[in-house]
Amino acid sequence: MPATQFTLDDLTCEWQERLDSFPADVRERVAQTAERHRTDLASHFYGVMLAHKEAAQFLSHEQVKTRLSRSMENWITNLYNSSEAADIQSVIAHQTRIGEVHARVSIPVHLVLRGARLLKQRLITYLREELPERQAAEAAVFAATLIDLAMEIMSHAYTTSHDRRSRAEESYRLFAVTQNMASEKERQRAALLDWENQLMFDVAMNTAAQHLPRLSASEFGLWFRHKGAHGFEGAPETELILESMTRIDEMLLPLFANRQSEANPTHTMQLLRDLREQAKSISYHLDLLFEQNNELESGRDVLTRLLNRKYLSVVLNKQITYARSTGGSFAVLALDLDHFKQINDSHGHEAGDLVLQQVAALMLNRSRAGDYLFRMGGEEFLMIMVDVNDHSAAKAADNIRRAIAAETFRLPQDVTMHLTVSLGLAVYNGHPDYQQLLRRADDALYEAKNHGRNRVVIAPE
């Protein structure tokens, strides 16, 4: 995150300057008062926020309540007890992490600011009660300054994460609704064909070689050189198309100049055949480029055609929002093939790929229309099961396990084999952060692996 890194040093300096502008005894008193009342400050914060309908949605989960009360107390202590540059940096890093969590669970900024205001007021009240008036005034300014600085850093991290998330959501929206790639593909294939037809016609009409249409100047050539090559940058097919284009324009077209002087129809036919070959190869590679691009652009894994993890956070956030607003539930099922390495080792990587494709197909067959299936990488898959409860999710997970164990997997050369999978299931428990859900499913999967594999482990609430 370059923006945050860029300002980290500035913020540390600024934090230090703010600290230095207050006498040590004032800072000491604020730290002591904050420390003495940290439990009350945290519980006051939660008491007020839980009574707020909108804020309660993010805080009412039991785990959030217990964990956050404790971390709120620590936050108060750390805020006022950091005086060395290293402490300050760690406090700043902490505020950044909090901002990122806020963005992940989409807490509205005004609620965070409201929380900060509550804390500030309460702490200042204590300072006024406990210190002589003049000292209290300066202490109050110091107390408020540090909370404001912390809020500023949190908001910065929040905005950066939130922008990233908005971009992911935007591209997910485009992925879900657009088919631009398909129409572009058809348009460019037609443009390539137009150029070829024009060339054939001009050759038939004995047009002079220097007036034959150059591919790089045709509609297709212009598009590919300025847009296509840029969009498909890095793919080997892009280079092949550019090479074919140069070959046609620089080598083949000039050869037509000799055709009349030689008056050799076989020679012309051969040239035309060469041209045809080059054009066909361009068309073939163009199809490949569009195909690959479709998979990548659309967030799909090329091997299994399942979703890749690009849109996982967007889908999980959508599910959490949906479950929250409807009172429904959903579950995350993490699945990992057992001893998959042995399949690669004994039958080759290609056989391993085939097995992955068959597992993906089997999971697709077992899923319902609203479910989502992701390939997380390697031999690990993730399924989001919608509209399930603890019981139905566990049953569905075990059905998948049994179906895979019962399947005969087909490898090249008529080899068949059986395999098993380990699964970790986490049912949504109301926690607003999707990463907690993923962590629970992962931990359960780890348990399943450690307890003998070929089993489903259900994550505790």
Ligand X SMILES: Nc1nc2c(ncn2[C@@H]2O[C@H](COP(=O)(O)OP(=O)(O)OP(=O)(O)O)[C@@H](O)[C@H]2O)c(=O)[nH]1
* Binding residues vs ligand X (CB under 6 A): 303, 336-341, 344, 349, 352-353, 356, 378-379, 449, 453
Least distance to ligand X from the beta carbon of 413, Å? 16
Tell me if residue 186 falls in helix, strand or coil: helix
Which residue's CB is nearer to ligand X, number 47 or number 377? 377
The bridge status of strand 415-417 relative to strand 421-427 is unpaired
Least distance to ligand X from the beta carbon of 336, Å? 5
Least distance to ligand X from the beta carbon of 96, Å? 32
Instruction: State phi, psi for 61 to the nearest 5 degrees.
Output: -65, 135
Question: Tokens 């056989």 — which residue?
Answer: 351
Least distance to ligand X from the beta carbon of 313, Å? 22
Write the DSSP symbol of residue 300: B
CA 354 to chain centre: 26
Which residue's CB is nearer to ligand X, number 186 or number 350? 350
Closest by CA to 352, choosing from 307, 304, 399, is 304
Least distance to ligand X from the beta carbon of 374, Å? 14
Least distance to ligand X from the beta carbon of 303, Å? 6
Residue 200 is which amino acid?
M
Which residue's CB is nearer to ligand X, number 370 or number 452? 452
Cα dihedral 55/57/59/63 (nearest 10) = 180
Which residue's CB is nearer to ligand X, number 104 or number 375? 375
Which residue's CB is nearer to ligand X, number 336 or number 433? 336
- As given in the structure block, the two tokens for residue 338 are 């057992």
Q: Residue with the closest Cβ to ligand X?
A: 352
Which residue's CB is nearer to ligand X, number 36 or number 349? 349
Decide if 105 contacts 432 (C-beta within 8 A).
yes
Residue 288 is which amino acid?
L
Instruction: Identify the burial level of 133 via C-beta atoms within 10 angstroms of its C-beta, where 0-12 means exposed, 13-18 middle and 19 or more buried.
Output: exposed
CA 440 to chain centre: 19
Closest by CA to 271, choosing from 256, 286, 289, is 256
**Ranges of H-type helices in 178-264:** 180-204, 219-223, 229-231, 236-246, 253-255, 259-262
Least distance to ligand X from the beta carbon of 454, Å? 10
Which residue's CB is nearer to ligand X, number 30 or number 376? 376
417 vs 343: CA distance, rounded Å: 9
Which residue's CB is nearer to ligand X, number 230 or number 339? 339
Least distance to ligand X from the beta carbon of 77, Å? 42
